[in-house]
Copies of this chain bind each other. A is one copy, B any other.
């Protein structure tokens, strides 16, 4: 398998973390989103929506959308529940992540890390951060009585939500008011085969990544 990715992307990190915990080898190529490398005709042939992560399978198929890639890699493994309801609940939290969390937890981090203090996109921050707080509150209340999101077992729902939550302060979103979220982050960071968001994948040979 061949992962097209951007090292600082939480969406890409979801896939890297799962692959590390599955013990699966893969090729890794850095695609520089800031240089428009996801919008070239060549890249759009891989993913017509022009985004990373995009995973090339061994048969040449390209799969995109980070949470769909997680599902593909994890189906049938210990990272996906064995029951119909458990699987639907994992997807429930993964759709929550993409709709109610990512735009308000991840995007502020992107804005803060990629645009100067006087950039017009900074004007988006107050509304986004308010909705980010609402998403973290939903998570904190759910985790008040649970170790992990579904069936008290670590799953790809946790991976999907962890990716941007654990670096939310990079975007100005404090985790201080959410003790259950912080305890859950500590549990995940202590799991076997855990990797850091900015850890370069083993064997990554792309010059842009090594730079």
| A interface with B by C-beta (< 8 Å) | 48-49, 57, 61, 63-69, 71-72, 75-76, 84-85, 87-89, 91-92, 94-96, 98-100, 102-103, 138, 141-142
Please give the count of copies of this chain that the complex contains.
2
Identify whether the interface residues of A are mostly helix, strand, loop, or mixed: helix
The answer to whether A88 and B68 touch across the interface, beta carbons within 8 angstroms, is yes
A-B contact pairs, 26 of them (CB 8 A): A48-B141, A48-B142, A49-B96, A49-B100, A49-B138, A57-B85, A63-B85, A63-B88, A63-B89, A64-B92, A64-B96, A65-B91, A65-B95, A65-B96, A67-B91, A68-B88, A68-B94, A68-B95, A69-B88, A71-B88, A72-B84, A75-B88, A76-B84, A95-B95, A98-B98, A103-B103
Task: Collect the chain B residues with CB atoms within 8 Å of residue A71's CB.
Answer: 87-88, 91
The answer to whether A61 and B48 touch across the interface, beta carbons within 8 angstroms, is no
**Minimum CB–CB distance for A132 against chain B, Å:** 13
Contact A138 B48, CB 8 Å, known A91-B65, A95-B65, A95-B98? yes
A84 to B87, CA, bound (A): 14
Contact A95 B67, CB 8 Å, known A100-B49, A138-B48, A141-B48? yes
Closest to A100 in B: B49
